[in-house]
């Protein structure tokens, strides 16, 4: 019955002109645990750059979510809000097109989370595959902070408060989207009205970038990432340290392309696909040195990151202006979220004074 929902406006009996004319709403965000890196660039920033011209896009600096497993590092979490914002602006996110905002300054999101929590069981929260994996990775086991266990509900509130229909995320976030839609359906069913809107995940075509050590994921906490603001010698050292093929000892030996980080990154950053295919073939048949490939990759990365680094440096000198951008964005975002939460409360009979 509700299966034709997805991108675009909700089909209702009474469609208004503004719904017909409105652009799809996009919401996505990042935990503010540290500056962003190349994995974020290919995984989501590039998508956001494209979407900001065609949609109404909200970008969330998820400081509250970051605290759910970093309460001991709360200073770092709050200090990184501006770092991540600078990363956004440095790659070309335009605050006149995208609304960048700070989660902790929109209290309506916490309010909506509190209401949605009544629609999920502890058992369901414990079954979320991403939560399970993160509990194992962080060694929480029996000592899971309650806030951490329920962060998928908080994330659902982030999305639902904006009635976002498109959520660009990495594959590891798919269980969050699924849980969001369960909560949306369950809320609408319990008030017998279509107040909240279901969303769709938008995955990047490139997929996740491996770490420079060859581990499956590039991640700051695993210390295997290249920051967007990396200095030239940092980029060079990272490329030199990159995992290739441990059995490719001599240049003449045939080398392996799968699992080779240099090739994974060239797949993401070498625009000449024909040339890349030839290089792969040459490497597999032997005679192509790791160092030759690494110089090519380094050249690509230096060219990509130089303008970003320069813009970052300029923005870092004008922190007042960056904070003003965040303040304006947060006001705009708060208006939108507050309108939805008012609707939610009305539907629940919680609008006593209006």
Can you give the binding site for ligand TRP, defined by CB under 6 A? Answer: 27-31, 60, 62, 65, 155, 158-159, 167, 169, 173
For residue 279, the minimal CB distance to ligand TRP (Å) is 32
Largest CA distance in the chain: 80
Alpha helices in the chain, H assignment, sequence order: 17-21, 38-40, 46-54, 63-67, 74-91, 107-116, 122-127, 129-138, 146-149, 151-161, 174-191, 232-241, 261-269, 273-285, 290-316, 319-347
Residue with tokens 């904006």: 162
For residue 121, the minimal CB distance to ligand TRP (Å) is 21
If the CB atoms of residues 169 and 337 are measured against ligand TRP, the closer one turns out to be 169
Sheet holding 56-62, edge to edge: 98-102, 56-62, 25-31, 166-168, 200-202
Distance CA 267, CA 295 (A): 15
If the CB atoms of residues 169 and 265 are measured against ligand TRP, the closer one turns out to be 169
Distance CA 323, CA 79 (A): 12
Q: How far apart are the first and last CA of the chain?
A: 33
User: Given phi > 0 = left and psi -120 to 50 = alpha, else beta, which region is 100?
Assistant: beta
CB under 8 Å to 38, separation ≥6 — which residues? Answer: 209, 218, 225, 226, 228, 265, 268, 301
For residue 20, the minimal CB distance to ligand TRP (Å) is 26
If the CB atoms of residues 159 and 238 are measured against ligand TRP, the closer one turns out to be 159
Minimal CB distance to ligand TRP: which residue?
Answer: 62
Q: Nearest-5° angle of CA 30, CA 133, CA 135?
A: 85
If the CB atoms of residues 169 and 326 are measured against ligand TRP, the closer one turns out to be 169
For residue 191, the minimal CB distance to ligand TRP (Å) is 23
For residue 64, the minimal CB distance to ligand TRP (Å) is 9
If the CB atoms of residues 105 and 173 are measured against ligand TRP, the closer one turns out to be 173
If the CB atoms of residues 29 and 211 are measured against ligand TRP, the closer one turns out to be 29
For residue 11, the minimal CB distance to ligand TRP (Å) is 24
If the CB atoms of residues 62 and 262 are measured against ligand TRP, the closer one turns out to be 62
For residue 80, the minimal CB distance to ligand TRP (Å) is 13
């Amino acid at each position: 019955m509700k299966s034709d929902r997805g991108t675009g406006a909700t089909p209702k009996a009474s469609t208004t002109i503004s719904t017909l004319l409105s652009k799809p709403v996009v919401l996505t965000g990042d935990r503010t645990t540290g500056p962003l890196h190349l994995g974020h660039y290919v995984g989501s920033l590039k998508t956001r750059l494209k979407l900001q011209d065609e949609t109404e896009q909200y970008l969330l600096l998820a400081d509250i979510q970051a605290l759910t497993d970093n309460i001991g590092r709360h200073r770092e979490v709050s200090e990184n809000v501006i770092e991540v914002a600078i990363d956004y602006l440095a790659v070309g996110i335009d605050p006149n097109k995208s609304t960048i905002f700070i989660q902790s300054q929109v209290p309506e999101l916490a309010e909506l989370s509190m209401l949605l929590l009544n629609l999920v069981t502890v058992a369901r929260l414990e079954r979320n595959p991403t939560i399970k994996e993160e509990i194992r990775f962080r060694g929480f086991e029996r000592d899971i902070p309650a806030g951490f266990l329920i962060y998928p509900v908080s994330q659902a509130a982030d999305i639902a408060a904006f009635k976002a229909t498109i959520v660009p995320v990495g594959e590891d976030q798919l269980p969050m989207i699924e849980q969001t839609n369960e909560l949306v359906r369950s809320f609408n069913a319990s008030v017998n009205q279509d107040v909240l809107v279901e969303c769709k995940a938008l995955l990047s075509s490139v997929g996740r970038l491996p770490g420079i050590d060859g581990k499956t994921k590039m991640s700051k906490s695993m210390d295997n990432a290249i920051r967007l603001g990396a200095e030239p010698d940092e980029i060079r050292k990272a490329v030199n340290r990159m995992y290739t093929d441990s059995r490719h000892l001599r240049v003449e030996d045939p080398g392996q392309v799968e699992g080779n980080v240099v090739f994974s990154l060239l797949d993401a950053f070498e625009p000449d696909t024909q040339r890349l295919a030839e290089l792969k073939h040459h490497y597999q048949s032997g005679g192509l040195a790791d160092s030759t490939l690494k110089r090519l990759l380094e050249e690509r990365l230096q060219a990509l990151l130089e303008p970003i680094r320069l813009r970052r440096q300029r923005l870092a000198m004008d922190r007042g202006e960056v904070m003003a951008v965040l303040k304006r964005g947060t006001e705009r975002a708060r208006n939108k979220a507050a309108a939805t939460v008012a609707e939610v409360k009305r539907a629940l009979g919680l609008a006593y004074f209006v």
